[in-house]
Amino acid sequence: MTTTTSSNAGHPEGAGPGGNRRRWLRGARFRRLRQRLVLAAAFGWALFLLAHLVLTGRWWLWMFIEPMPPFLLVAVPAALLLLVPFARAVAKPVALLLVATLAIGVPLAGFPATAATQPAQAATGGQSVKVFAWNTGYWHSGTGYLDYGGDIDSPQAFYAYLHQQNADVYLLSEHLFWRGGPIALDDHNEIQSQFPDYEVNVEGELVTLSRVPVAATHPRAVGENSDDWYWRGNKAQRTDLRVGGCILSVYNVHIPQPIDPRLNPLTAKYYSFAHRQYNRQQRELEALRDDIDGNANPLLVAGDFNSPWMGSLVQVGDDLRRWNPGNVRGLPVTFPAADTGWSLPKLWRLDWTFTRGPVQLSDYRLRQSPRLSDHLAQDMTASVRCQPAARERAAS
């Protein structure tokens, strides 16, 4: 009787020529899968970045994407570059694509990359004005919505913090409390008593205090509804100051926030509110741009813009210079400040400062405001060097 012997006889299961071929095929399929995944991730990120460039500030539904931490524009392509070796045959074009997205993402994320975003150099010449810009976190309500367990802090601690800054000009926002809606504060006399040497200008939720002579204010007329002062009130309060023989226009800005985290995202109210907020943002930014475009004075624009993309993807105005604080290395972030009830890490820069004309900043710093607000404050010295034409306008 003839016995037939298998070609794999004497080999462990899966070994031998047939097993080696199956393992090779499985390895080849896995390598192709990894290559496709890396390729898809690289192109997917490039398409996402393109959409972000095109849609930020232009489509209300993208508002739900815009709040992503800006550092992701650097971290994601950098992480994907580590996977490029798995792309094998297409590794080179994938690497070039990711390097391109990284090169775009670095300045957008806010890392100092150009002269306009370098830390301020010492200003020379002209008259200097110390400016303090701060979202107060619902005045002295301890940053909490009163509906959600917040309470009223001691006003003494709040005003003591402001006095410590010894600024010539204070640009303050969120002059209100919140309980089921905005609550207007009738405390002009209290503010004036706290700052007797300052001119106090209250407009809606914005307060500008100045011990520099005020040449003009530009209040906006609002409707007669009881809450129009907040929902339709000015979000970029302009005050013209007499500085160094010319007029410096200072804008105190608080652009509406894009979404309300207290609302349930599974309800229609969440999205209808976001759509209305987008329209409010566009209206207020357009009003600010129009005023800036029609203003020939040197400018300083500062405040809470509720966007990490100001000056890069969302334009504030023509010929404005964006400043980075000099006491921060790497990515400046201002929100949320520590010990204010937020469970999120401090990952966003929502507070910005811009200038136009012969205005230089020195000693521009971000300041902590422990527990008083969920935003860091902006502290700076602005130096204005007047040109002859500006002096003639100021004199007239």
Residue 391: CATH number of its domain: 3.60.10.10
* 204 shares a domain with 95: no
Which of 76, 109, 142 marks a domain boundary?
Answer: 109
> pLDDT, tens digit, for every residue of 40-76?
999 999 999 999 999 999 999 999 999 899 999 999 9
The domain containing residue 140 runs over which residues?
115-395
E strand intervals along 113-198: 127-135, 169-173, 177-178, 182-183
Would 199 be classed as within a structural domain?
yes
> Rounded to an integer, what distance in angstroms lies between the CA atom of residue 205 and that of residue 235?
8
Burial class (CB in 10 A: 0-12, 13-18, 19+), 225: exposed
Locate 322 and state its tokens: 């964006």
What was the pLDDT predicted at 389?
A: 47
Low-confidence ranges of the chain (pLDDT < 70): 1-31, 112-126, 142-153, 338-343, 387-396
Q: How far lies 154's CA from each of 117, 140, 144, 161, 166, in Å? A: 38, 7, 14, 11, 20
Would 313 be classed as within a structural domain?
yes
* 193 shares a domain with 71: no
* 187 shares a domain with 160: yes
Cis upstream peptide for 85 (omega within 30°): no
E strand intervals along the chain: 127-135, 169-173, 177-178, 182-183, 199-203, 206-210, 214-217, 236-243, 246-254, 299-304, 321-322, 351-356, 359-367, 377-384
* 208 shares a domain with 175: yes
The CB density around residue 253, as the number of other CB atoms within 10 Å, is 29
Cβ-count burial 318-350 (b if 16+ within 10 Å, e if not): eebbbbbbbebeebbbbbbbeebeeeeeebbbb
Rg, Å, the chain Cα set? 28
* 236 shares a domain with 384: yes
* 64 shares a domain with 163: no
* 26 shares a domain with 167: no
Would 9 be classed as within a structural domain?
no
Which of 71, 89, 109 marks a domain boundary?
Answer: 109
What was the pLDDT predicted at 355?
A: 95
Would 12 be classed as within a structural domain?
no
Domain total in the chain: 2
| Amino acid identity for residue 91 in this structure | A
3-state secondary structure of 182: strand
* 275 shares a domain with 167: yes
* 262 shares a domain with 371: yes
What was the pLDDT predicted at 147?
A: 42
> Rounded to an integer, what distance in angstroms lies between the CA atom of residue 16 and that of residue 64?
56
Would 5 be classed as within a structural domain?
no
Would 223 be classed as within a structural domain?
yes
247's torsion region: left (phi>0), alpha (psi -120 to 50) or beta?
beta
* 148 shares a domain with 73: no
What was the pLDDT predicted at 236?
A: 97
Q: Is the pTM of this model over 0.95?
A: no
> Rounded to an integer, what distance in angstroms lies between the CA atom of residue 277 and that of residue 63?
10
Would 11 be classed as within a structural domain?
no
* 131 shares a domain with 47: no
* 128 shares a domain with 96: no
Which of 93, 109, 125 marks a domain boundary?
Answer: 109
Would 171 be classed as within a structural domain?
yes
